[in-house]
């Protein structure tokens, strides 16, 4: 292994000494398990504010990474997996976990630990990973030894719209730097929920927009909602973004999403988040209906 290369002061995660964040050579081998405690950055000395989170609220061994498939809707093919974090305590949801991490300025290390587990487990395939907006204000993501740098396929960085994107210019600058340097693609997540802003799609220029499940829930039974979703999909396409419909749970929702023109689907209908990587279960409509045939969007990776 090569000698650790010290980071310049400007790239040190806030509140952490340079000696504590010396670069490590990224591993291309899968970790021993999906528990966050097996990640290199989960060991060693934490800064005081990080210790309040990782020792006081939740331990890395209480957290694990699971995966959910994202499928193409123009054909029955797997497109990618999304990495998700889960806690042994059902009282601590992923949203609550990152909210508490943000309060303790620990989203940077938490995100890094998740990527150290998730990325090596998805070698040879596209992977979606989540970023909390506050993580962009830390220095972890811009480190040259981040696992996304060594991934052998496309990486999609999801920025949630369910939390406010403060310091927008700084966040935009960090995202553009990371995507330019690593070849990662930007994804606007949870669009249609929380702090959604149409202008973000214009300013961020995402490769993918993920529609929140609130737009998909009962889509087959709500004609006005179907018009809204179809119009949103058309707008995203005109702005150069592909569209993932999240939260598909029934065959009828799947058919309605296909009719909307969305490019990809994700939800319990295809597979629940799990570890190891779960296989896709393709819906078989009992009514004999099939999604409307449509030409492949040339922007969708083959």
Q: What is the DSSP string of 43-81?
A: SSPPPHHHHHHHTTT--GGGEEEEEEEEEETTTTEEEEE
The pLDDT, as a whole number, for residue 194 is 61
Lowest pLDDT segment from 75-84, 168-177, 234-243: 168-177
Report whether CATH 3.20.20.450 matches the domain 42-265.
Answer: yes
158 closest CA partner among 97, 72, 246, 71: 246
pLDDT grade for 278, boundaries at 50, 70 and 90? very high
Q: Which of 66-80, 95-109, 149-163 has the lowest mean pLDDT?
A: 149-163
Please write the tens of the pLDDT for every residue from 209-266. 999 999 999 999 999 999 999 999 999 999 999 999 999 999 999 999 999 999 999 9
Q: Residue 216 and residue 220: Cα distance in Å, rounded?
A: 9
Residue 7 has pLDDT above 60, yes or no: no
Q: Distance between the two ends of the chain, CA-based, in angstroms?
A: 37
The confidence score (pLDDT) of residue 233 equals 97
Of residues 207 and 164, the one with the higher pLDDT is 207
Q: Name the 3-class secondary structure at 148.
A: helix
Residue 56 has pLDDT above 90, yes or no: no
Mean pLDDT over the full length of the chain? 85
Residue 139: predicted pLDDT: 80
For the segment 103-146, what is each residue's pLDDT rounded down to a tens digit? 999 999 999 999 999 999 999 999 999 998 888 877 888 899 99
The confidence band for 165, taking pLDDT boundaries of 50, 70 and 90, is: low
Cα–Cα distances (Å) from 4 to 7, 135, 237, in that order, read 9, 23, 44
User: In which residue are the tokens 């696992």 written?
Assistant: 147
pLDDT band at 162 (very low <50, low <70, confident <90, very high): low
Average pLDDT over residues 189-214: 84
Of 18-22, 27-31, 263-267, where does the model show the most confidence?
263-267
User: In this predicted structure, what is the pLDDT of residue 302?
Assistant: 72
Higher-confidence residue of 43 and 169: namely 43
């Amino acid at each position: 292994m090569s000698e650790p290369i010290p980071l310049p002061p400007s790239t040190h995660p806030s509140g952490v000494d340079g000696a504590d964040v010396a670069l490590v050579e990224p591993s291309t081998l899968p970790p021993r398990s999906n528990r966050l405690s097996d990640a290199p950055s989960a060991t060693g000395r934490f800064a005081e504010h990080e210790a309040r989170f990782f020792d006081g609220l939740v331990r890395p061994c209480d957290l694990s990474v699971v995966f959910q498939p994202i499928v193409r809707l123009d054909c029955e093919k797997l497109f990618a997996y999304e990495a998700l974090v889960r806690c042994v305590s059902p009282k601590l949801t992923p949203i609550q976990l990152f909210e508490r991490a943000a309060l303790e300025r620990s989203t940077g290390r938490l995100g890094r630990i998740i990527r150290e587990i998730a990325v090596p487990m998805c070698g040879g395939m596209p992977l979606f990973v989540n970023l909390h907006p506050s993580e962009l204000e830390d220095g972890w993501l811009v480190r040259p030894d981040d696992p996304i740098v060594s991934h052998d396929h496309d990486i999609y960085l999801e920025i949630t719209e369910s939390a406010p994107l403060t310091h927008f210019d700084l966040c935009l600058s960090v995202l553009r730097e990371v995507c330019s340097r690593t070849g990662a693609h930007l994804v606007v997540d949870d669009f249609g929920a929380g702090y959604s802003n149409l202008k973000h799609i214009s300013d961020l220029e995402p490769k993918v927009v993920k529609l929140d499940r609130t737009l998909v829930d009962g889509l087959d039974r709500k004609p006005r909602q179907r018009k809204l979703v179809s119009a949103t999909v058309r707008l995203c396409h005109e702005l150069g973004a592909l569209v993932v419909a999240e939260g598909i749970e029934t065959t009828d929702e799947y058919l309605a999403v296909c009719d909307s023109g969305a490019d990809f689907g994700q939800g319990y209908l295809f597979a629940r988040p799990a570890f190891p990587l779960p296989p896709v279960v393709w819906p078989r409509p009992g009514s004999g209906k099939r999604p409307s045939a449509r030409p492949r969007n040339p922007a969708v990776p083959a």
